[in-house]
Homo-oligomer: A and B are copies of this chain.
Amino acid sequence: MFHLLKTNGKARRGQLQTAHGIIETPFFMPIATKGAVKTLSSADMENLGASILLSNTYHLLLRPGLDAMKTFGGLHAFMNWQKPILTDSGGYQVFSLSRINKTTEEGVKFQSHIDGSYVFLTPELSMDMQKAIGSDIAMQFDDVAAGTSTRERYEDAMERSLRWAKRSKEAFRASAGATLSSGHRTIAAVPYDSIAPASALFGIVQGGIYEDLRSRSIKGLVDIGFDGYAIGGLSVGEPREDMFRMVKHCSDQLPQDKPRYFMGGGMPEEIVENVKAGVDMFDCVLPSRNARHGTLFVWNQDPSTIDFDNVDPLNPTWYSCLRITNEKCQFDLSPIDVFCDCETCKTTTRAYVRHLFSVQEILALRLASIHNLRFYLRLMEELRKWSGG
């Protein structure tokens, strides 16, 4: 499934094979939480150069639900996206979003943040839902400890995550080969007579900021055996140095021949540093969320000239964050970013985008999202060149 093509130090340039095509690594996954990247269509994501999207089992389980997703024949058909999809297992969201949750060895009982109804999410249900989604890369269901937990809680969560990893794999295997019924029509001339559930399953390394817990987690997961490994439970408020240290620690111990996915982070300089530590896959809400709040990533230099060997992981000089709502943008008739090739930068000015934010036009959110996502996708293009071409 994973082919390592070249390395640059510990950084890896590779290819990930999925049922919906090959993805060049390292890559970034825009987040289509509820079946759409906020403000953007699947065609927009294609135009931006996204090679894979991430969607959330938790959100799709609540709406439209498991049965609906089966009826639709999976998320690819539902949202008309032909490239790969990775799904989070719901482990993180039951803690961060649900109103009330209670963890037992069996699973997590939680109250929907939407209508207050009770749902009991288990490794088995998570796998069922990810299969119904037709995910190309499914994640194990894990027990996620809050960022402020004690070592004991981190250890407990890590151990339970290992047990749930085993159950996830068994449930995943049991349903492998099954073909979901498809009730949907053919759209955009791409026939979907059935969805191919030849998806991969990733384990998730837990253990907080404790090297020994992380090592035990990795050993346990590798013993079970997964198609790839994610580093979870970071980017939750810990100091950056701890995060970098943990990613390096994990990346060094994870199998060379499997893809490595750092979950949920982060700022551009963090992605660069973690690529240099040997991580292949990233996702983050930052580009979209910042865009909707009017904070835009701007290159300080042509991105093809960035010397990634010598960038500061804590104080990057190669990009800036522009507050587009700032008064200084009022009469600025230059594009948001002179080095950017996105539709927003090619067709609008800072003054216009600022005006749209000022008068609360929805188009502002779209134009900003397009730009910020393109910034991240372009960063990955440059990092792929740097790590092996």
A28 to chain B, nearest CB (A): 20
Q: A362 near B71 (CB under 8 angstroms)?
A: no
Mark A331-365 against chain B: 1 for CB-CB distance below 8 A, else 0. Answer: 10111000000010011110110011011011101
Which of B35, B64, B359, B366 has a CB less than 8 Å from the CB of A41? B366
Q: Which of A182-190, A202-210, A246-254 contacts B (4 or more CB under 8 A)?
A: A182-190
Complex CA gap A389/B80 in Å reads 37
Considering the complex, give the chain B residue whose CB is closest to the CB of A64: B355
Given contacts A39-B366, A184-B333, contact A358 B72 (CB under 8 A): no
Given contacts A185-B333, A185-B349, A333-B184, contact A38 B68 (CB under 8 A): no
Given contacts A346-B188, A348-B80, A362-B362, contact A183 B333 (CB under 8 A): yes
Interface size on A, residues (CB 8 A): 45
Q: A39 near B347 (CB under 8 angstroms)?
A: no
Complex CA gap A333/B367 in Å reads 29
Complex CA gap A42/B183 in Å reads 36
Q: A68 near B361 (CB under 8 angstroms)?
A: no
Q: How many copies of this kind of chain does the complex include?
A: 2
Given contacts A347-B80, A358-B63, contact A363 B39 (CB under 8 A): yes
A366 contact set on B, CB distance < 8 A = 39, 41, 362, 366
Considering the complex, give the chain B residue whose CB is closest to the CB of A62: B359
A2 within 8 A of B: no
A311 contact set on B, CB distance < 8 A = none
Which of B35, B80, B184, B362 has a CB less than 8 Å from the CB of A365? B362
A322 within 8 A of B: no
A178 within 8 A of B: no
Given contacts A71-B331, A72-B333, A79-B352, contact A361 B36 (CB under 8 A): yes
A40 within 8 A of B: yes
A334 contact set on B, CB distance < 8 A = 185
A361 contact set on B, CB distance < 8 A = 34-36, 38
A78 within 8 A of B: yes
Given contacts A39-B366, A187-B335, A362-B366, 8 further A-B contacts (CB under 8 A): A35-B352, A38-B363, A39-B363, A41-B363, A59-B359, A64-B330, A78-B355, A188-B346
